[in-house]
Structure 1
Amino acid sequence: MISNELETLVEQRVTYTLQLNGQVYMIENVPARVNPETGEQFFSPSAVEQLQQIILSGQEPDHFVEVPVYHYVA
């Protein structure tokens, strides 16, 4: 029996975060389909293309966020 995961996905706006070349990028209000049980996010091909354009364009961000960074010690 094959489960249809698409039935369990919910349309939401999410914050997409990417670390690239030592920089952290956050893009807010991105349309995604989210699995409410796992939190896994799925993006349409057009959304992915637009995310890439935003990050690679070098345009000025809307605002900046200060983020604390910790090192994991085992």
Structure 2
Amino acid sequence: MVQSLVTYSVEYQGRMVIVENVPARVDPETGERFYSPQTVEQLQAIVWSDRQPDRVEQTPVFRFAA
């Protein structure tokens, strides 16, 4: 495991939320991320809050066609 700062993204209530500089342990072989319980609590507080973001990004969205 390698301690690193990662970007966490999640869809919440129909909007994409991105949180940068999140501490995580990352498996270098698989890229799987592991967060401490305290980090998860902070992520939830950020995602669930109504506070203004530090900045807003615009991103393209594609529909997957089978």
Structure 1 stretches lacking a partner, 5+ long: 1-8
**TM-score, normalised on structure 1?**
0.86
Higher RCO, 1 vs 2 (CA within 8 Å, ≥6 residues apart): 2
Bigger radius of gyration, 1 or 2?
Answer: 1
- Does 2:57 correspond to 1:65? yes
- CA root-mean-square deviation: 0.6
Please say if residues 2 and 28 of structure 2, whose CA atoms lie closer than 8 Å, have aligned partners that are also in contact: yes
Query: What's the offset of the Cα at 1:55?
Result: 1.3
Which runs of 4 or more aligned residues in structure 1 lie more than 3 Å from their structure 2 counterparts after TM superposition?
none
**TM-score, normalised on structure 2?**
0.96
Structure 2 stretches lacking a partner, 5+ long: none
Q: Which structure has the highest strand share of the two?
A: 2
Q: Percent identity of the aligned residues?
A: 48
